[in-house]
Structure 1
Amino acid sequence: MKRFPHLAQLPEPTLLSTPDFSSLYTSVKAELLSALETIAPDDVDAVSETLDNNAEILTKFTQAFGIILQNHYRRWNESAKQMFAMYASEDDMVDMIVSDMGLERLTLEEGDPTAFPPVEAVMESNEQLLTRYYLSMFALSSTGTRNGYRFHALTPGAAPEIDIESPDDNTVVVTYTFSDSDFAGQAKDARFVNGGAGTGIVNGYLLAHEGDGTPSDELLSGTLAYLKSDSVAQETDTLNLYKATITKWTLDATVYIPNGPDIDVIQNAADLAAAKYGSEQHRLEGEIDRSMIDHILLKATNGSGIRVVINSPAESIQCDHTGAPYLDSINIKVETE
């Protein structure tokens, strides 16, 4: 599973499409006239003629109702989409969906409600949580599969210690002991590959949330110890875990727009779009595509952009399973022409 459903969404089902205004307005008029056929048949022709005149107040009310109905369709469809992990974007809905697999959102940095002003906790993102959700099916067994290793590396402490005792011939007692991990929420991504056919060697690479993604020695050793624990490890595997190789890159670009749009607004939007793209690609096997940079910066202009000149990166960056790109700095200029 190279791309998870929430990162490569299918087209929305046609059932969740929003009718266009013309269709809705035609439907509303038809429903209104149909109702009049029953309750006031003598008024049908007059009302029908009125609705053909856009200057009539009844026509404006009917058009307004069509717009209201269209907005309701959008809200209903958006609410329905939140029921699916592929489309869910609301934090509480994501929390509810992942709870089906016994997962909870991890705390990346503890908050301090007693501070002034209060410091809110930094929580795991929806994207990261949903990635663990799709990986969680591989936690039904121990490690061994690539995604099984990946799930356990991202969710240390998820597998309990299991003790089985038989105090007498007719009784078996199974005890599951869950322990909190000091490293929960610290790993951002992990990849595992076969170290050689028939060798039993598995090589893993770990990316951290903190800083540029280079994991600390403590995180690396703690994660490896957990993966090698009796309740997780494969007896036949020899596991190695390495720090991800970080490829730092700088975004230096100029966005050209015509006279008119607010430069400060577009500057802020471009900076935010660039930071978001850098964060999304800060993962193992991440890719920095110059054509995508061009696309997101033009999109940030809300249609007013003329062209983008990218000075850095000089060429696209493609990391393999051992490394991740890290956006080190952003220097975007917005100029008119």
Structure 2
Amino acid sequence: MMQDLTHLQNPNVIETLDYETIFTHMKDELLRLDPSFSALLESDPAMKILEIAAWRELLLRQRVNDAARANLLAFANTADLEHLAAFYDVQRKSGEDDEAFRRRIQAKIMGWSTAGSREHYRYHALSADIRIKDARAESPSPGIVKVSILSHEGDGTPSQELLEKARSVILRDDVRVLTDTVEVVSSGIIPVKLEAKIYLYPETPEDIVETSKAALIKTLNETKGLGWNLTRSWIIAHLFAQGVQRIELLKPAEDVIVLDHECVALDSIELTMGGRDW
């Protein structure tokens, strides 16, 4: 399974920068070299020069941070990401955003295998069309490989045309392992009904309920994928916003556990204000 790059800690090469810290270090160094500057006023020209120098150093070190990020898969964007991908012989597809492109690069790296690994088939499925959100390869029996396709469109069920497009790529002689019989199928879609009561603090405006609803739908659609379980704790955590006192989650009654070839889909969502409380 691919590592979630968003959970990585910031690398040591990326500095945490603070203007006041840089300015103080410069001022202390000036006093060390020439103690006569100990009585500098805020309006003194020497102070202005120090301020300019500290600001310039902050910008320079921030540029170094940006350059370091541009060389890391977790942080690189746009053209920088394309240059990283070129090292792995991966090209951005027309209309493909950075996050989808990043996932394909990861899949290509993990899919380097002479035996046709899960990620090998996943990479080629994702490369077939940008409408494919996720793909999962399983082997239910020796020599049989089943590749499930999840679409960005609708509830995630791929159209027949999209399945055929994925199939035409995965079954190519340079992709399919000679000893594999490969099936390309639609992923299983697990509909979920969500119902919750949101309790607010006395001063919180009621429109926070609709704001929370829109934010949850957006985050769920971005996060879900094949084999991803929708837990009650995840729902509650993503319904909380500034001004929400507590959440009473009515549906689902328990965590939604899916198989590797399945994905949750929000069938309906009903959020109501349960009241106000401290």
User: Structure 2: which 5+ runs fail to align?
Assistant: none
- Identity among equivalent positions (%) equals 27
Label 1:83 to 1:28 Cα distance change in 2 as closer, same or farther (>3 A).
same
Between the aligned partners of 2:108 and 2:160, the Cα distance in structure 1 is 26
Between the aligned partners of 2:211 and 2:54, the Cα distance in structure 1 is 29
Between the aligned partners of 2:50 and 2:203, the Cα distance in structure 1 is 33
How many residue pairs match? The answer is: 274
Cα offset, 1:74, TM superposition: 5.7
Q: Calculate the TM-score normalised by the size of structure 1.
A: 0.68
Q: Calculate the TM-score normalised by the size of structure 2.
A: 0.80
Aligned equivalent of 1:165: none
Between the aligned partners of 2:234 and 2:50, the Cα distance in structure 1 is 40
Cα offset, 1:25, TM superposition: 5.0
Q: 1:99 aligns with which of 62, 80, 86?
A: 86
Whether the 8 Å CA contact 1:281–1:287 is kept in 2: the answer is: no
Larger RCO (alpha carbons 8 Å, 6+ apart): 2
Q: What amino acid is the match of 1:77?
A: N
Cα offset, 1:148, TM superposition: 0.8
Q: 1:16 aligns with which of 14, 24, 27?
A: 14
Q: What amino acid is the match of 1:94?
A: L
Whether the 8 Å CA contact 1:6–1:130 is kept in 2: the answer is: no
Q: What amino acid is the match of 2:131?
A: Q
Deviations, residues 125-169 of structure 1 (Å, cap 9, x unaligned): 32221111011235666772111111112213xxxxxxxxxxxxx
Whether the 8 Å CA contact 2:135–2:147 is kept in 1: the answer is: yes
Whether the 8 Å CA contact 2:19–2:58 is kept in 1: the answer is: no
SS at match of 2:119: helix
Aligned equivalent of 1:281: 223
Label 1:331 to 1:93 Cα distance change in 2 as closer, same or farther (>3 A).
farther
- Is 1:130 aligned to residue 69 of structure 2? no
Cα offset, 1:96, TM superposition: 3.6
Aligned equivalent of 1:250: 193
Aligned equivalent of 1:193: 138
Aligned equivalent of 2:160: 217
Aligned equivalent of 2:39: 46
SS at match of 1:219: helix
Whether the 8 Å CA contact 1:281–1:288 is kept in 2: the answer is: no
Between the aligned partners of 2:108 and 2:71, the Cα distance in structure 1 is 18
Between the aligned partners of 2:110 and 2:48, the Cα distance in structure 1 is 55
Label 1:125 to 1:247 Cα distance change in 2 as closer, same or farther (>3 A).
farther
Q: 2:68 aligns with which of 50, 67, 80?
A: 80
